[in-house]
Amino acid sequence: MSNSSVDICGHPVPKWALIAGGVAVSTGVAYIGYKNLYPSDQTKSNSKTNSSTIKKGTQAPVISDEPKSAAEVIEDLKSKGNDFFKQKKFKEAIDFYTKGILLCPANEKKTLSALYQNRAAAHENLGNYDSVLEDTNSALEIVPNYVKAIARRAKAYEQKGQLDLALQDVTACCIFENFANQSTLMSADRVLKALGAQHAKEEMSKRSFFKPSKQFIKTYLKSFPNDPILQPDVLSNGLTNGAVEQIDLDLLAKGKRAFEQEDYLLAIKYCTEEIESPSSSSHNKALAKLLRASMYIFTSQSTKAKEDLNDIIEDPAVDSKVKVNAHIKRAAIHLHASSDFEKAFEDLEAAEKVDPSVADSYYQRGQIFCLFGKYDEALDNFDKTLSFNPNFVIARAQRYFVLHKKIVPGDVQGMEKSVTEFRQFVNANENCSEACTLFAQVLVEQEDFEGAEEYFKRSIKVDPANASLYVHRAMLVLQARGNIDEAIKLIMKAIDIDKSCLFAYETLGTIEVQRGRLEEAVKCFDKALPLAKDEAELSHIYSLRDAAIAQMRVCERYNIKVPSM
């Protein structure tokens, strides 16, 4: 079993590592036993007649319709078909393969299945995917574990958009190849992503409302310390040039109060009334749109959120701080809802141009650079963040984390200095759970598991309602001690604390896959799906679920026993 299927910060590992953990260990013997059954186009059939050499002066045997003679004819047809195939004369190749198929006896399974598979390959090159499916099905009826035919059928299913069937076939190939063929693994990952995205899009089209977890809201807001709508005096002060403006903020105040009480639909209602009110000032309308956009983001209505943010951004009269926040939130939508990093950066750069003194834009950009491992750029942005907001503890913790990541491997002195300075900072800011968690990750990288667990415990003490922290600690327990029971106990505690913790169900499902408990894994992923806040998260969870289901069906079809840990 791999140490974990989710890293210490909750980022998912490649999905095929998850499947490999479940089956690859047990497929070696089966693979060795099966591999010699599979015909190859590059290896001529061994069914040619090997009759003794006819000595000079002896009478030649009478030629008849015996199997040997038929085998020679069939092999010749197959060989000519292969020659035409190499010349890219696929129709001619199909003609010869077809003649071979018509002549080949049913008991010549290896040759007959190869002819069907070769004809399928020719049809594939002509784009005749229905014919590919027909011929690969015929080949697999004869030799069910014929990997080349399974792989070709998978490609045909993918071309026809039958991704669930494509995934089952490519999963079978991975298992029979003992997860050693990189090309097959890449195909599997491609199909998984496409199928996950398809399922996610279908699910999002059905959603009318999504209620986010308290922890998500809390974490999200911590990333926007300069959000104008969250400032204590925003409901009594105007924003233009810092001047106080006496305006009727009753509806907006109600909207903010509804948000604080987690009644997001009511908050949207009050904001809409404020926006549509003839007596509402332009400042008030902008603030109402900003608050409503946030509610739309929280409830996974990104299209509506962007409409409000676009209105704010395109209005030249809107206060700069409101406009900056709109750019940053639109960047977050580009990043999380559609993984459009280019547009996210464009919005963050625009925010900087509108008001270079707002730290939030640099902080968001620093996080993106950190995600891509561009630590020099991340450090530069965190430094800018702190120059405008020196009391932003989370940003400073991120800066220490990046400084640690920048150290060249083998620089023992630099590593020790980095860990010491980071530890001193965290100890001085022990009430920041994010700092404790980041430092715990550094200690995990140093294989100081005991120290890492101590700081996870500190983080939990500071923020006991954060269920994700228990999951992080569970993954550490697995990595450090391999104690599955203890890890699962911690994850179940996380679920008891917050039944809306997607991370807990996702991680538990991954562990169940690695234990060979595929049905239980699917149940966990089913519980995670309603908790996914956007299309990207849905796509990821669906991919994990689809992978588990495909593996389960393949194991049933080919009578492969899934090992338990």
Q: Are 449 and 479 in contact (CB under 8 A)?
A: yes
Helices (runs of H) and strands (runs of E) counted in the chain: 26, 0
**Domains of the chain (ranges, CATH numbers):** 18-48+65-206 (1.25.40.10)
The overall average pLDDT reported for the chain is: 86
Taking only the tens place, the pLDDT of each residue in 237-257 is 443 433 334 334 478 899 999
Q: Is the pLDDT of residue 503 over 70?
A: yes
d(CA 548, CA 178): 17
d(CA 7, CA 476): 9
Tokens, residue 563: 């090992």
**Residue 457: predicted pLDDT:** 97
**Residue 41: predicted pLDDT:** 39
**Residue 293: predicted pLDDT:** 97
Neighbours of 34 (CB within 10 A): 17
Q: What percent of the chain has pLDDT over 90?
A: 74
| pTM summary value | 0.80
Place of tokens 């009269």: 317
d(CA 252, CA 234): 10
Tokens, residue 94: 């199909």
SS3 352: helix
**Residue 207: predicted pLDDT:** 86
Backbone angles phi, psi at 449, to 5 degrees: -70, -35
Strand partners, 12: 6
> Which residues are CB-contacts of 272 (< 8 A; sequence separation ≥ 6)?
288, 292
Higher pLDDT, 42 or 304: 304
Whether the CA torsion 541, 150, 84, 182 is positive or negative: it is: positive
**Residue 58: predicted pLDDT:** 38
**Residue 3: predicted pLDDT:** 40
